């Protein structure tokens, strides 16, 4: 059997497999308000960043942070947690951090 015939047989086989698989689409639900989302959600859990940053300060740059099974990651060490008592605008070094990954309590 020639290589052309083998290729034709292969393309025919693959094509028949592709055409025999039914098309599937995800069902998408658009929520336009929080109340509707909360009513549809089976379990909701808040992630609390309290206590990660020192009081009135910013945490050191982190490569990743895992809380309640959720991992927040960036490279190199661009995740910062800002304590709610820290006034960010007065610190010039934080302007760069604001454009990156900053989590505010």
Residue 9 is encoded by which pair of tokens? 């047989």
For the segment 32-75, what is each residue's pLDDT rounded down to a tens digit? Answer: 999 999 999 888 888 888 888 998 888 888 888 999 988 988 87
Q: What percent of the chain has pLDDT over 90?
A: 10
Who's near 47: CB < 8 A, 6+ residues apart? 67, 68, 70
pLDDT for the residue 91: 53
- How far apart are the C-alpha atoms of 19 and 42, rounded to whole Å? 37
Mean pLDDT of the chain: 77
pLDDT for the residue 36: 92
CB burial string 3-24: b at 16+ within 10 A, e below: eeeeeeeeeeeeeeeeeeeeee
How do the domains of the chain map onto residue ranges?
3-40
What pLDDT band is residue 21 in, cutting at 50, 70 and 90? low
Q: What are phi and psi of 19, to 5 degrees?
A: -75, -20
pTM of the complete model: 0.46
């Amino acid at each position: 059997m020639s290589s052309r015939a083998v290729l034709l047989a292969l393309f025919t086989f693959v094509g028949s497999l592709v055409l025999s698989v039914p098309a599937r689409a995800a069902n998408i639900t658009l929520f336009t308000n929080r109340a509707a989302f909360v009513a549809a959600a089976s379990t909701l859990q808040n992630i609390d960043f309290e206590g990660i940053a020192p009081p009135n300060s910013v945490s050191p740059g982190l490569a990743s942070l895992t809380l309640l099974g959720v991992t927040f990651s960036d490279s190199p060490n661009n995740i910062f947690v800002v304590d709610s008592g820290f006034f960010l605008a007065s610190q010039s070094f934080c302007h760069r951090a604001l454009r990156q990954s900053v989590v505010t309590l």
